Chains A and B, each alone.
Chain A
């Protein structure tokens, strides 16, 4: 998951682990913007995202010793961030919405492809971001983990506490919810069969 052209900050991590405040500051400056953006997408409000970002980095100070240097630092960081954000959301019982329904009950219908394509073509990034804010916590979280931080199905399953086999269902359902938010409960979101 390493960014092309950006090498892993191995030296800074080693120094930060040894208690070097400057190295820690370097890691913070380098990664805080991305983690803030992750939290901004995952959390319902900007202030929540700010709080979560600070908490993640405070947590990171203690967790840095657990980081396996043979793996991608950014991937590991996103995993920590995802776990933290989901933990906050879960505690707030935000998921006491329709997401608590059995994920297996999602209808696997064939949407009208051309209608779906049209909907996607007409929507801008800003509209999508606004729609994301209207979504339920788990659906939003799943989309952010997959399409922002490129987490694997295993990692998503681990963070959300669902079986791996259900991750696809969660993501599909999240897409349906997003379409509903974009379109306003139209047939596309419901998967209008052709």
Chain B
């Protein structure tokens, strides 16, 4: 027999492997067995493959790496984390109550005050007055650190998937340290606090000034920004920068060359403002003597504008009275609008409210007021309503599609978290109410505006994402669970349609939407939280436990003789 003929008779490697692994049928197995009894070459190959299998198994088992410390402590960390979440849930519930109180009860209290009952602004009382007030200075520092820590956390979250964990942590913490150790800006900042703070008329502060106190009087000159928080604030001096305020009552009779921003229970402007005004409060009065070179944006219970505004007015107010002059356009949304005879508005006026605006015939307007009657609840008789519902549904599904494509794993984690109803709902209350409050507070700190506004944007986007997560859960209830991406997207689409349909039900729809947002945003927060768990620990390394799983002892049967 020639060498070639002999080679043709040898078993191929595939057959030998399948024989060793007992994957051949009985007849073929017998053939192989008989062949190898006669063929030295194939017997050697079988033996080599068998040894290769053993070598592989041995190699995989013999290196007993100890369990990394973070895995060793994983279980304990997970248990601790859940306890923490429930603590947070209680905190969140308290925050939610506080938010409801300030949103609904506080305005009633203000109205009672106007009616002659004694009292004071709740926020001012809680935050800016007496005993609590003394801790405000340190609170600013705490808020700054929290804001920087939040940024750091976000940095870790994004970086950990791109670079190795150690380097990500090192990079983020190095950046944080650099940020915290960075020298203060060249323009120094002056802090003053006390029950009564007064900057007398001739006094000049050559820097930014942070003032905190019960009663604050600024009659001098501030060459930088003025950041003020107090119960009763009066600025009759000259502020060359911006003025930021969070106070119970504010009167500005002097001059602010920059912008005025802030919250106040009652704010009265009588002086000059070089740029814009953005205020939120119970009452906003822009007096006859006030001159604002920029625009006015306000959200208030009552707005009275008798002064001069060079540019636009944007207002969300329960009641608006305009008797001054406005150089630009006017957009107001609220309950009532009165335009007096002395008013002079050189741009278009748009008003969306519950009542027809009262416009004096002697008022000077560039064009008639464009009025849109605000109706509570959807107009079911209008076909456009249904068209828009369909468009919204499509928009939601598209948004969900984008999110699932960009963050498939995170989205699925959020869906899983949503199945923990209690924790999701509890955390949802905290995040839904707590985050915007924290963001607004952050806006008035030094680190402030950027972080606050960014947080609000993320929070707002999360409100929509929350409905997508809930939609996915609903879809899974109907169509069963799946771990694959595209089937999950299909369930999301079905669920979102159902959720959106439910939100259109009269009377109940609003509550459905509220619950969906609460639940979904809690699930998202829970998923984010879990992304940070467990933290790398420096604890004791535990040796691997007793081997619970069997090594592959052998594959295939005994070698043929």
Within 8 Å CB of A194, what residues of B?
A: 7, 10, 41
Cβ A31 vs Cβ B549 within 8 A: yes
Rounded to whole angstroms, the CA-CA distance of A172 and B164 in the bound complex is: 33
Rounded to whole angstroms, the CA-CA distance of A28 and B552 in the bound complex is: 22
Within 8 Å CB of B70, what residues of A?
A: 50
Rounded to whole angstroms, the CA-CA distance of A178 and B17 in the bound complex is: 15
Cβ distance A96 to chain B, nearest Cβ, rounded Å: 18
Given known contacts A111-B45, A125-B62, A191-B13, is B67 in contact with A33 (CB within 8 Å)? yes
Cβ A33 vs Cβ B545 within 8 A: yes
Cβ B60 vs Cβ A147 within 8 A: yes
Cβ A125 vs Cβ B17 within 8 A: no
| Interface residue total, chain B, C-beta cutoff 8 A | 60
Rounded to whole angstroms, the CA-CA distance of A175 and B12 in the bound complex is: 14
Within 8 Å CB of B555, what residues of A?
A: 146-147
Cβ distance B551 to chain A, nearest Cβ, rounded Å: 8
A126 at the A/B interface (Cβ < 8 Å)? yes
**Range class of the A interface residue count:** 35 or more
B550 at the A/B interface (Cβ < 8 Å)? yes
Which of A46, A57, A116, A148 is close to B60, meaning CB atoms less than 8 Å apart? A148
Rounded to whole angstroms, the CA-CA distance of A32 and B76 in the bound complex is: 14
Within 8 Å CB of A153, what residues of B?
A: 21, 23
B186 at the A/B interface (Cβ < 8 Å)? no
Among B49-57, B190-198, B296-304, B443-451, the one that faces the other chain is B49-57
Within 8 Å CB of A4, what residues of B?
A: 550
Cβ B548 vs Cβ A116 within 8 A: no
Cβ distance B534 to chain A, nearest Cβ, rounded Å: 7
Chain A 29-46 near chain B by CB (<8 Å), digits 1 or 0 = 111111011001100011
B11 at the A/B interface (Cβ < 8 Å)? yes
Cβ B74 vs Cβ A121 within 8 A: no
A109 at the A/B interface (Cβ < 8 Å)? yes
Cβ distance B238 to chain A, nearest Cβ, rounded Å: 59
Within 8 Å CB of B79, what residues of A?
A: 21, 25
Given known contacts A146-B552, A168-B18, is B63 in contact with A129 (CB within 8 Å)? yes
Rounded to whole angstroms, the CA-CA distance of A17 and B166 in the bound complex is: 35
Given known contacts A29-B75, A47-B164, is B58 in contact with A125 (CB within 8 Å)? yes
Within 8 Å CB of B275, what residues of A?
A: none
Query: From DSSP, what is the main secondary structure of chain B's interface residues?
Result: helix
Q: Which residues of B460-512 are within 8 A (CB) of A? A: 483
Rounded to whole angstroms, the CA-CA distance of A30 and B67 in the bound complex is: 12
B179 at the A/B interface (Cβ < 8 Å)? no
A128 at the A/B interface (Cβ < 8 Å)? yes
Given known contacts A32-B67, A108-B12, A123-B55, is B74 in contact with A74 (CB within 8 Å)? no
Within 8 Å CB of B64, what residues of A?
A: 37
Rounded to whole angstroms, the CA-CA distance of A53 and B15 in the bound complex is: 36
Rounded to whole angstroms, the CA-CA distance of A37 and B62 in the bound complex is: 10
Closest to A178 in B: B56
Which of B14, B42, B542, B550 is close to A168, meaning CB atoms less than 8 Å apart? B14
Cβ A168 vs Cβ B67 within 8 A: no
Within 8 Å CB of A57, what residues of B?
A: 74
Cβ A53 vs Cβ B13 within 8 A: no
Q: Which residues of B246-267 are within 8 A (CB) of A? A: none
Cβ distance B148 to chain A, nearest Cβ, rounded Å: 26
Cβ B534 vs Cβ A74 within 8 A: no
A143 at the A/B interface (Cβ < 8 Å)? yes
Cβ B552 vs Cβ A148 within 8 A: yes
Within 8 Å CB of A169, what residues of B?
A: 14
Which of B49, B53, B71 is close to A53, meaning CB atoms less than 8 Å apart? B71
16 contacts between A and B (CB under 8 A): A3-B550, A33-B547, A34-B548, A50-B70, A54-B71, A74-B549, A91-B408, A111-B13, A116-B52, A126-B59, A129-B59, A132-B60, A146-B555, A147-B555, A168-B21, A178-B56
What are the nearest 3 A-B pairs in CB distance? A33-B544, A128-B59, A113-B44
